[in-house]
């Protein structure tokens, strides 16, 4: 790269429009400043050295936070920071020519900027006035995107004129801002730190559907319903009901490992925050992705306002239910599911309270029951978890301990099986 090409790149960077916000990224700003220092006539050596060191420090900061090279920094700024261009791409199937052209120019400029090798920057610094002795003392950063980047959605091909289609498709499927960055989020309430009221979860529970044992029919129903949601078909609100420790919550969480690349997001709403469901639904309605609103361990005291909020969302009020949102809830409370009133007290108030709880459960389109496994099924789960670890074990030796474990832990469940296997693994026997 000669000085003319460098100045041409700077002009293209100055003319960025649709993705101009990326230049405020610390790493991108440091690279641009280094380019400007190198492009000056009769540049000051101290200024060149300082600019190069700031660029290296920006790369070091990115590497320390697991983001790799400058190309990944640019990609994350393009894809994961909220911008008007991203919002338009997410909402429009066909982009206007002006936006397409602006995106192409900006992506091309960012690609050329991040493609400059650190050795080339040192050469440009020497041409601009840095001594060879100083250049020899300066370290070089890792120039490549790196296979360790972790997020398979990121492609260096996006940083080119040909990357417009891929980038626009990303926004339409993955969303923008928080929802593009994070597979999951938790409602914490609106604040200066969380303007949407959502705290992103970038590394959710890694549990996978394929790691689970038993409950194949229930799990299959949940997966099929989730597939309907992702395909834009009518999907159901589902209540997962049953004994504690049977994997109800884990099954919902495991959906992310299978479907987050297809645009699935999970928003967890604590029980105490259910009155905010209308606000949450309004936020999600405007997003391009598909969302599961997850309510874990439904349990209410009498006359809680959360009853009304959840029922309204499930049934739908005057405002139509968002087509891109479903509610998945779990509960192990038997009074949530309908029983005969003859089995209850005849007190009128008691009957009214029960009817209120029953009406809540009845508003879920589907109810999936997770019953506690038998002892033999519990043994099956234990062996499957042991096999998944890929190590040999003597089941005849372990079975009595597995049985004793259920006695000391008050029953059989997938959770208790996992705890037992984890304990055995800690002994170095699995």
Does one domain contain both 138 and 217? no
Indicate whether 298 and 336 sit together in one domain: yes
- Same domain membership, residue 268 and residue 248: yes
Please indicate whether residue 219 or residue 151 has the higher confidence score (pLDDT): 219
Q: What is the dihedral of CA 386, 387, 393, 399, to 10 degrees?
A: 50
- Whether residues 31 and 170 share a domain: the answer is yes
Helices (H) and strands (E) in the chain, counts: 18, 7
* Domain membership flag for residue 202: no
Question: From residue 368, how far is each of 269, 274, 316 by CA, in Å?
Answer: 20, 22, 22
In which band, very low, low, confident or very high, does the pLDDT at 366 lie, cut at 50, 70 and 90? Answer: very high
Are residue 240 and residue 327 in the same domain, yes or no?
yes
- CATH number (domain holding residue 240): 3.40.50.300
Query: Which structure tokens are listed for 200?
Result: 């992103």
Whether 297 is covered by a domain: the verdict is yes
Count how many domains the chain has: 3
Residue 285 sits in the same domain as residue 379: no
- 234 with 141, same domain: the answer is no
DSSP H or E run through 242: strand 238-242
203 and 197 in contact (C-beta within 8 Å)? no
Confidence of residue 98 (pLDDT cuts 50, 70, 90): very high
Confidence of residue 429 (pLDDT cuts 50, 70, 90): low
What is the reported pTM? 0.84
Q: What is the mean pLDDT of residues 328-348?
A: 60
Q: Are 235 and 326 in contact (CB under 8 A)?
A: yes
Asked if residue 191 belongs to a domain, the reply is no
Q: Are residues 166 and 21 in the same domain?
A: yes
340 shares its domain with 383: no
- Is residue 199 a part of any domain in this protein? no
Please tell me the distance from the alpha carbon of residue 265 to that of residue 206, in angstroms, as a whole number: 14
Cα distance between residue 230 and residue 323, in whole Å:
10
Chain-wide mean pLDDT for the chain?
Answer: 87
Which residue from 132, 130, 106, 111 is spatially nearest to 42, judged by alpha carbons? 130
Q: Indicate the pLDDT class of residue 342, thresholds 50, 70 and 90.
A: very low
Q: Is the pLDDT of residue 346 over 50?
A: no
In a domain, 400, yes or no: yes
Say if 125 falls within a structural domain. Answer: yes
pLDDT of residue 171: 94
In a domain, 306, yes or no: yes
- With respect to residue 197, please indicate whether it lies within any of the assigned structural domains: no
Say yes or no: 266 and 349 in one domain.
yes
Pair 7, 115 in one domain: yes
pLDDT tens readout for residues 368-427: 999 999 999 999 999 999 998 877 788 999 999 999 999 999 889 999 999 999 898 888
CA torsion, ordered 20, 26, 32, 37, to nearest 10 deg: 150
- Which residue range is the domain that position 41 belongs to? 3-148+155-180
């Amino acid at each position: 790269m000669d000085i003319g090409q460098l100045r041409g790149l700077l002009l293209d960077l100055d003319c960025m429009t649709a993705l101009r916000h990326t230049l405020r990224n610390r790493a991108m700003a440091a690279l641009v400043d280094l380019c400007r220092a190198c492009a000056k006539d009769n540049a000051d050596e101290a200024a060149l050295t300082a600019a190069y060191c700031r660029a290296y420090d920006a790369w070091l900061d990115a590497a320390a936070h697991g983001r790799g090279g400058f190309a990944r920094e640019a990609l994350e700024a393009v894809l994961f920071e909220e911008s008007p261009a991203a919002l338009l791409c997410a909402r429009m199937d066909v982009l206007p020519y002006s936006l397409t052209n602006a995106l192409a120019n900006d992506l091309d400029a960012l690609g050329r900027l991040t493609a400059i090798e650190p050795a080339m920057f040192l050469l440009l610094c020497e041409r601009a006035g840095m001594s060879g002795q100083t250049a020899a003392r300066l370290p070089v950063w890792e120039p490549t995107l790196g296979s360790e980047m972790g997020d398979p959605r990121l492609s260096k091909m996006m940083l080119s004129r040909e990357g417009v289609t891929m980038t626009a498709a990303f926004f339409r499927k993955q969303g923008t801002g928080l929802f593009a960055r994070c597979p999951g989020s938790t409602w914490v309430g609106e604040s200066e730190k969380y303007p949407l009221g959502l705290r992103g979860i970038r590394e959710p529970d890694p549990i996978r559907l394929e790691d689970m044992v038993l409950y194949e029919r229930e799990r299959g129903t949940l997966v099929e319903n989730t597939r309907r949601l992702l395909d834009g078909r009518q999907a159901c609100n589902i209540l997962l009901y049953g004994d504690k420790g049977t994997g109800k919550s884990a099954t919902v969480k495991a959906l992310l490992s299978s479907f987050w690349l297809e645009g699935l997001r999970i928003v967890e709403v604590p029980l105490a925050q259910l009155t905010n469901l209308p606000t949450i639904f309004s936020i999600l309605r405007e997003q391009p992705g598909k969302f599961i609103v997850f309510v874990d361990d439904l349990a209410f005291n009498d006359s809680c306002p959360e009853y009304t909020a959840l029922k309204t969302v499930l049934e739908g009020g005057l405002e139509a239910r968002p087509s891109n949102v479903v509610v998945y809830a779990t509960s192990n409370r038997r009074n949530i599911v309908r029983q005969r009133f003859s089995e209850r007290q005849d007190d009128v108030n008691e009957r009214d309270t029960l009817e209120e709880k029953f009406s809540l459960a009845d508003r879920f389109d589907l109810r999936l029951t997770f019953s506690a496994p038998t002892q033999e099924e519990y043994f099956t789960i234990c062996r499957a978890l042991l096999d998944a670890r890929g190590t040999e074990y003597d089941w005849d030796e372990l079975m009595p301990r597995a049985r004793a474990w259920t006695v000391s832990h008050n029953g059989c469940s997938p959770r208790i099986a996992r705890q037992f296997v984890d304990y055995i693994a800690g002994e170095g026997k699995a």
